[in-house]
Amino acid sequence: MRVRAAVAASTLVLLSTAILARAADEPLRRPPLPDHGLDIPLSSQPLALDPTDPARVTLGAFEFRGALQLSSSHPRFGGFSALEVDPAGKRLLALSDEGAWLEARLRYDERGWLARADHGRLGALADENGLALGGKADGDAEAFTRLPDGGYLVSFEQHLRLWRYPRPSRKHPAVATAARPFTGPAELQQAPENGAIEALARLADGRLLALCEQLKSEEGLMGWVWDKGAWHTLTYLPTPELLPTDATLLPDGDLLVLERGYKRETGPRAALRRLSAADVRPGARLEPRTLAELARPLLVDNSEGLFARRGPRGETLVYLMSDDNFSREQRTLLMLLALPPAR
């Protein structure tokens, strides 16, 4: 399969806007973080799905279950591009594109709606020597997934690579122990530095799906499935003017893919698309089914983090998180959606 790197016009606008915002807002140096983490102030402001109709709770196939704007005075807070929530929905773990991890406690109201996030803790991802990562060049974590042994696989941009972290413990938080290299797809080094693996998910049978944001083949975007110790290529067809930024395993074994895009005239957009696990195979041409789309005036920003878990009544609970690019013009949003159980 002949591969070429290409960036859609809408993506160029997204990237140039983000770069300009970062140049204006980013200090020349951010303070280092300990790998074991430190407590930080964390504020959360509840938001409606539709500010023009605060009573709206329907979003495509989903029901809106609350949203928060997260903020902190700590200068390393922000840029979150990957997300995990524990099975009980009580703890959040997010990775930033500057080599930091965030843990926070999630609170819900009597309806089960997302109501508050507190007890924030921020730390640094570890490198191969167990030392704290810092900065965009080496710490641009864009996606991660939990492995069968309880450890994590993390994909990085800028310095393109995959790292494997051991199972966390009380002494060593997640992604804070020395990483080990994980063999990536052969074509990965052909990806743009800012357009590599953005979506990474483990399937129920242990296989891995990796989707590139800007590496194109003749048919669509480049992706891979890890099976029996090797990467195999496949093709992903995104929504027009959108690109994949995360993926998560659904409780029924299928996958949910998050896509996002940006146009100066209309602002950010996002889509949630369902992908059958049976379709993920070497050489496949993946074209998921769209379940919902987000666009203004609905609550949407630079959507990059996605995670799903089983809810207490059999529903699928889906969490979306946005990357604020450390810009005053953007926000760190955390949204909760519910997908009713199949009948």
Q: Are 138 and 158 in contact (CB under 8 A)?
A: yes
Identify the pLDDT of residue 29: 55
Q: Over the chain, what is the mean pLDDT?
A: 90
Q: Which CATH architecture has domain 3-339?
A: 6 Propeller (2.120)
pLDDT tens digit string along 67-91? 999 999 999 999 999 999 999 999 9
* % of the chain surpassing 70 pLDDT: 91
Identify the pLDDT of residue 237: 97
Instruction: Using the predicted structure, report yes or no on whether residue 174 has a pLDDT greater than 90.
Output: no
Q: What is the pTM of this model?
A: 0.91
pLDDT tens digit string along 206-216? 999 999 998 98
Instruction: Using the predicted structure, report yes or no on whether residue 305 has a pLDDT greater than 90.
Output: yes
Identify the pLDDT of residue 2: 41
pLDDT tens digit string along 25-67? 444 356 788 878 999 999 999 999 999 999 999 999 999 999 9
Identify the pLDDT of residue 343: 56
pLDDT tens digit string along 309-318? 999 999 999 9
Cα distance between residue 326 and residue 79, in whole Å = 6
Can you tell me the mean pLDDT for 153-158?
A: 96
Instruction: Using the predicted structure, report yes or no on whether residue 257 has a pLDDT greater than 70.
Output: yes
Q: What are the strands, taking DSSP E only, across 161-240?
A: 161-165, 180-182, 197-202, 208-217, 221-227, 230-236
Instruction: Using the predicted structure, report yes or no on whether residue 330 has a pLDDT greater than 80.
Output: yes
Q: Are 272 and 258 in contact (CB under 8 A)?
A: yes
Cα distance between residue 230 and residue 183, in whole Å = 9
